[in-house]
Amino acid sequence: MTSAAPVTLGLAGTGRIGTSHAETLTHLPGVGGVIVADADAERARATAGKLGVQAVPDLDALFAADLNGLIIATATDSHPALITRAVDRGIPVFCEKPVAADIQGTLAVIDHIKNSTVPVQIGFQRRFDAGYRAARAAITSGDLGWLHTLRATTLDPAPPPAEYIPRSGGLFRDCGVHDFDIIRWVTGREVTEVYATGANRGEQFFADAGDVDTAAIVLRLDDGTLATVSLARYNGAGYDVRLEALGSEGNAVVGLDDRAPLTSVEPDCTPSPFPAYPGFMERFRRAYTDELAAFVSVVNGESDNPCTVTDALEAFYIAEACELSRHDGRAVQITEVRR
């Protein structure tokens, strides 16, 4: 059996995540060429020069190239147009979350591509992390018995720039959506109800944007399992992302390693000598690589799409319900936001 020919991939957006993806692609088996473009043509040229890949002056030139697949790492408001343009040209897509800035925009993309066989993979990299995969296996195998509680945590060491917050979609859509997706994925269950609350203890720009810098969420799954999600923009100890799956027969904990930014005050506990992860890029570096390797496999028709647009929509529904719950101060059924 012969292996697939190397693919040529286009990459739109050479900011932090786009540049990281481009660098990963240069070392990825099965990738024969990388072509980058950005609204800032000089930034694209600089990235290309540093990595030894090709740059083109704009997105029109990128689409004019002979691409086997497209990776979208641009600003959120450009995602829908780029996804639909690529699908209409028969080009498989990998797009960083979210699909669109809101549910209406996401549904419009789904409607546009619903009759197409061109795959669109959405970037929820935690699905490719070894710890989350092990937790999923432990849950689905029945080794944990029946689940009674999940506890998810995403705590950033420092907030993003003030100018990012008004266009971020808010803490639930920007940050918590990763926890919502991974809870669905590891359990194979759907969320039916949420209760969310938030607080602002940090910079005023969060409140000015109608957002919060800290949140606590309770989710009810369709089998009665309860899940809690803790989110924060200020966690000076370091980047802290964990998931605890607690069952009647055992438990599985993701993210509890030597770099977890946890300080025990028990007298007999020895502190870890290893530094905490400074951010998500370092914590999930291998997962990002495996995610792009999966996309190459999807492009070659060797694997099914591991994270569809519909998956992204379901996580977005949960985030939307959280925002409504915070605003109204009540529990919200997912059916209230589903369209």
Query: Where on the phi/psi map is residue 152: left (φ > 0), alpha (ψ -120 to 50), or beta?
Result: beta
Domain range for 147 is 127-283+315-336
Clarify whether residues 75 and 195 are in a common domain: no
The radius of gyration computed from the CA coordinates of the chain, to the nearest angstrom, equals 20
HSE-CB of 53 using CA atoms within 13 angstroms: 28
* Residue 11 placed within a domain: yes
Same domain, 183 and 328: yes
In single-letter form, the type of residue at position 335 comes to T
Clarify whether residues 133 and 223 are in a common domain: yes
Q: Which helix (H) or strand (E) holds 304?
A: none
93 membership: H or E segment, kind and range: strand 93-96
pLDDT tens string 70-107: 999 999 999 999 999 999 999 999 999 999 999 999 99
pTM attached to this predicted model: 0.95
CATH of the domain at 173: 3.30.360.10
Domain assignment of residue 2, yes or no? no
- Is-cis flag, bond preceding 98, omega within 30? yes
Cα distance between residue 320 and residue 316, in whole Å:
6
- Compute the distance between CA of residue 230 and CA of residue 241 in angstroms, rounded to an integer: 10
Clarify whether residues 226 and 206 are in a common domain: yes
In this structure, what token pair is assigned to residue 268?
């007999």
- First-to-last alpha carbon distance for the chain, in angstroms, is 46
How much helix, strand and coil, in percent to the nearest 5, is found in the chain?
A: 40, 20, 35
**Tokens linked to 25:** 């692609």
User: What does each of the 339 residues of the chain score in pLDDT, given as a tens digit?
Assistant: 456 889 999 999 999 999 999 999 999 999 999 999 999 999 999 999 999 999 999 999 999 999 999 999 999 999 999 999 999 999 999 999 999 999 999 999 999 999 999 999 999 999 999 999 999 999 999 999 999 999 999 999 999 999 999 989 999 999 999 999 999 999 999 999 999 999 999 999 999 999 999 999 999 999 999 999 999 999 999 999 999 999 999 999 999 999 999 999 999 999 899 999 999 999 999 999 999 999 999 999 999 999 999 999 999 999 999 999 999 999 999 999 998
Residues 324 and 181 in one domain: yes
Closest CA to 173 of 236, 108, 113, 101: 101
> How many structural domains are present in the chain?
2
> Nearest CA to 203 among 173, 229, 233, 174?
233
10 Å Cβ neighbour count for 95?
27
| Residues 328 and 195 placed together within one structural domain of the fold | yes
For residues 114 and 142, membership in a common domain is answered with no
